[in-house]
């Protein structure tokens, strides 16, 4: 009878953890996403600022309404402008705007459609889940455009 022989089982090399690699990859991806988000945000805010400064009267009017700056929005109205057929002063305009915000939510989207001439603009306004059209009539006096009438805010 032969003596039993013992062999050591194959010793596997200990597996190196890839945890550090995945942490580094995750960190780099997160930093890239933060960087891309920052670039997109800066470009969008720069574009909005440019439109608020240099856009058409109707664009500037509604961008100020979107941001809740009703005083600046009112400055784009002619002194005897009407909203839904009623003459409005600054206080009445602010009440109408705040009432629309309370009833339908704040403006979160606007789309412009110029009619046959630049003096008539149709604006599709989005508030909450409510969308509606507002027709603006503009007039140019002394080289400055002003909104003469609107059938809503």
Residue-by-residue pLDDT tens, the chain, 153 positions: 666 666 666 666 666 778 888 899 999 999 999 988 888 877 767 666 666 566 688 888 999 999 899 999 999 999 999 999 999 999 999 999 999 999 999 999 998 886 666 688 999 999 988 899 999 999 988 888 899 999 998
pLDDT of residue 16: 72
Alpha carbon separation from 22 to 17, 25, 31, 34, 126 (Å, rounded): 10, 5, 14, 18, 44
Strand pairing of 107-114 and 120-127?
A: antiparallel
pLDDT of residue 101: 92
CATH topology of domain 28-150: Nuclear Transport Factor 2; Chain: A, (3.10.450)
pLDDT of residue 48: 61
The sign one gets for the Cα dihedral 138, 152, 106, 71 is: positive
Angle at 88 between CA 131 and CA 108, to 5 degrees: 25
Dihedral in degrees, nearest 10, Cα atoms 88, 91, 97, 99: -110
Strands (E), the chain: 77-83, 86-87, 107-114, 120-127, 130-141, 144-150
pLDDT of residue 86: 93
């Amino acid at each position: 009878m032969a003596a039993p022989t013992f062999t050591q089982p194959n010793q596997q090399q200990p597996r190196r953890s890839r945890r550090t690699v995945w942490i580094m990859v995750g960190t780099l991806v997160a930093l890239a996403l933060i960087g891309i988000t920052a670039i997109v945000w800066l470009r969008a805010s720069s574009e909005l600022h440019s439109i608020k400064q240099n856009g058409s009267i109707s664009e500037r009017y509604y961008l100020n309404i979107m941001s809740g700056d009703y005083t600046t929005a009112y400055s784009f109205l002619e002194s005897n402008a009407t909203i839904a057929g009623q003459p409005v002063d600054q206080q009445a305009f602010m009440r109408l705007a705040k009432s629309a915000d309370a009833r339908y939510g704040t403006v979160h989207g606007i789309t412009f459609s110029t009619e046959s001439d630049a003096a008539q603009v149709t604006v599709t306004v989005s508030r909450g889940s409510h969308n509606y059209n507002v027709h603006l009539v503009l007039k140019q006096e002394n080289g400055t455009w002003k909104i003469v009438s609107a059938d809503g805010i």
